[in-house]
Amino acid sequence: MREIGHFIGGEHVAGTSGRTAGVFNPATGEVQAKVSLASVSEIRAAVENAKAAQPKWAATNPQRRARVFFKFVELLNKHMDELAELLSQEHGKTVEDSKGDIVRGLEVCEFVCGIPHLQKGEFTEGAGPAIDMYSMRQPVGIGAGITPFNFPAMIPMWMFAPAIACGNAFILKPSERDPSVPLRLAELMIEAGLPAGILNVVNGDKAAVDAILTDPDIGAVTFVGSTPIARYVYGTAAMNGKRAQCFGGAKNHMIIMPDADMDQAVNALMGAGYGSAGERCMAISVAVPVGEETANLLVEKLAPKIESLRIGPYTDDKADMGPVVTKEAHARINGLIDRGVEEGAKLVVDGRGFKLQGYENGYFVGGTLFDHVTPEMDIYKTEIFGPVLSVVRAKNYEDALSLPMKHEYGNGVAIYTRDGDAARDFASRVNIGMIGINVPIPVPLAYHSFGGWKASSFGDLNQHGTDSIKFWTKTKTITARWPSGIKDGAEFVMPTMK
């Protein structure tokens, strides 16, 4: 059986902790590899390698750092099919969906190719009498990223690309459920010209996370996962003197106004609700039609499309979605569907008990649709992270707007309408971090920043875009005055520009 270790100091190393976890094929339920789970000493080995390599990398001029990412983007495109196949084998999503995962990470790598401009400071000539003032952005030193299973290519690149481009070294702790793509990305970064030790990949579980959060040489930590773990990571990192950005759970609503193009709205819900089996933090899991007529038409059009979803292994190039990632996820999703029935929601399409011939032990859940869901129900409050869509009927626009505003999560939201006034009002008032107007999954492009509000995000700066450059650098401000501008004698009052 294939054994997966770590990538430290520019090369693959076997695990030494003696602890491993199974990497499963979600379509069959079979173990396809064993991944090593790092000890504190293995995390420390990665940090020591990063610590030794980082000063020289920070001293490398930004243009040369950018060239590594130009080459890396070239290599990502060259190895796209290989990477997508590897990703799908461990995650279970379709190959085309895996390519989308990789491309959205690649776009951040393209963005940081502009690091010579992005990392520039500011300068003011004559800020005071014979005084010039300027600032510079310098790297934090060593950063770390803790990533989830659902985007094993995109989210690692969202994290390490801006960190490394800014002159930092980086420790990546990917999900142990699908660890192979992050290791391959590290290989390609070395091939692109990155010095050994700047990007280290260490697989592990909570023991590895805690070692990262308490290591004195790691200056900044970024995390994506569930809200309870995001709170823990953020709090522990802060207590240990680290800056942190931590992104948690979501419950994304899509409001469908009576004037919306219903066919467009339904197609948007199908892709945003059931793509990747709903295992996306930006998936739409709540549809909010405004008015009974809108609701009835929406459900009437949705139900047959959900029933006809093509579900299969990633090797089926016609599949709309694959299995969920683990046996535990499968049981949890089915349990929440059971709970929705118990709570009185109308189960329009039931995805429980879905079995695929030849893949009876796979972790497949059929597309599921609930109607007449209310905000008091667990299926509304909980992030299900599976192919389950809930319809919450709203009497009017204000009723619809209040639903995402009152929910504890604030990651993403969408509105479908032809009314520009309604769209503008919605975007202005709703307390959510990312908003789509006739766009179901409003993940910003790489040169804007990604991040939610409320219990979906902890920390002041978002991922990618200019926020990422601010997060991975510290500002140093210099005030300079040369002898010709200095008065004789000591000055005992607070300096001012008076």
| 293 and 164 housed in the same domain | no
Mean pLDDT of 82-105: 98
| 260 and 183 housed in the same domain | no
What percentage of the chain carries pLDDT values higher than 90?
96
Contact by Cβ (8 Å): 389, 285: yes
484 within domain boundaries = no
- Given this model, what pLDDT does residue 488 score? 78
Judged against a pLDDT cut of 70, whether residue 437 lies above it is answered with: yes
| 331 and 403 housed in the same domain | yes
| 227 and 257 housed in the same domain | no
- What is the pLDDT confidence band of residue 1, given thresholds at 50, 70 and 90? confident
328 within domain boundaries = yes
pLDDT in tens, 213-245: 999 999 999 999 999 999 999 999 999 999 999
Mean pLDDT of 332-343: 98
pLDDT in tens, 15-59: 999 999 999 999 999 999 999 999 999 999 999 999 999 999 999
Residue 290 forms beta bridges with which residues? 394
DSSP 371: E
- Kindly state the tokens that stand for 445: 């492009």
Q: What CATH number did the domain enclosing 400 receive? A: 3.40.309.10
Judged against a pLDDT cut of 80, whether residue 194 lies above it is answered with: yes
- B/e letters for 1-25, b = 16+ CB within 10 Å, e = fewer, are eeebbbbbbbeebebeeeebbebbb
- Given this model, what pLDDT does residue 374 score? 98
233 within domain boundaries = yes
| 203 and 165 housed in the same domain | yes
Pick the closest to residue 11 from 253, 189, 261 (CA basis): 189
| 58 and 97 housed in the same domain | yes
- Given this model, what pLDDT does residue 129 score? 86
- What is the pLDDT confidence band of residue 482, given thresholds at 50, 70 and 90? confident
- Given this model, what pLDDT does residue 282 score? 97
- Sheet containing 412-416: order of strands: 346-349, 368-371, 388-391, 284-289, 252-256, 412-416, 434-437
Cα–Cα distance, 122 to 114 (Å, whole number):
17
Whether 281 is catalytic:
yes
447 within domain boundaries = no
Cα–Cα distance, 3 to 284 (Å, whole number):
36
Cα–Cα distance, 37 to 57 (Å, whole number):
28
Mean pLDDT of 355-365: 96
- What is the pLDDT confidence band of residue 497, given thresholds at 50, 70 and 90? low
What's the number of domains the chain is made of?
Answer: 2
| 278 and 352 housed in the same domain | yes
- Given this model, what pLDDT does residue 486 score? 72
The better pLDDT of the pair 292, 484 is held by: 292
Contact by Cβ (8 Å): 438, 416: yes
Strands 11-13 and 6-8: antiparallel
- Given this model, what pLDDT does residue 492 score? 79
The better pLDDT of the pair 214, 497 is held by: 214
Mean pLDDT over the full length of the chain? 97
| 101 and 70 housed in the same domain | yes
Distance of CA 79 to the CA centre of its chain: 22
- Given this model, what pLDDT does residue 467 score? 98
Mean pLDDT of 129-136: 94
- What is the pLDDT confidence band of residue 485, given thresholds at 50, 70 and 90? low
404 within domain boundaries = yes
**What's the chain's Rg over C-alpha atoms?**
25
| 428 and 471 housed in the same domain | no
Mean pLDDT of 488-494: 79
SS3 call for 221: strand
| 208 and 331 housed in the same domain | no
Cα–Cα distance, 419 to 234 (Å, whole number):
40
Judged against a pLDDT cut of 70, whether residue 498 lies above it is answered with: no
pLDDT in tens, 366-402: 999 999 999 999 999 999 999 999 999 999 999 999 9
Domain that holds residue 430: 252-437
| 341 and 416 housed in the same domain | yes
| 147 and 69 housed in the same domain | yes
Cα–Cα distance, 176 to 35 (Å, whole number):
7
Q: Please classify residue 96 by burial: count the beta carbons closer than 10 Å to its beta carbon, then call 0-12 exposed, 13-18 middle and 19+ buried.
A: middle
- What is the pLDDT confidence band of residue 73, given thresholds at 50, 70 and 90? very high
Contact by Cβ (8 Å): 474, 452: no
Judged against a pLDDT cut of 80, whether residue 77 lies above it is answered with: yes
Q: What angle do CA 453, 457, 462 make, to 5 degrees?
A: 90
293 within domain boundaries = yes
Mean pLDDT of 433-450: 97
* Active-site residue, selected from the candidate residues 113, 166, 246, 281: 281
- Given this model, what pLDDT does residue 270 score? 98
100 within domain boundaries = yes
221 within domain boundaries = yes
What percentage of the chain carries pLDDT values higher than 70?
99
Q: What CATH number did the domain enclosing 15 receive? A: 3.40.605.10
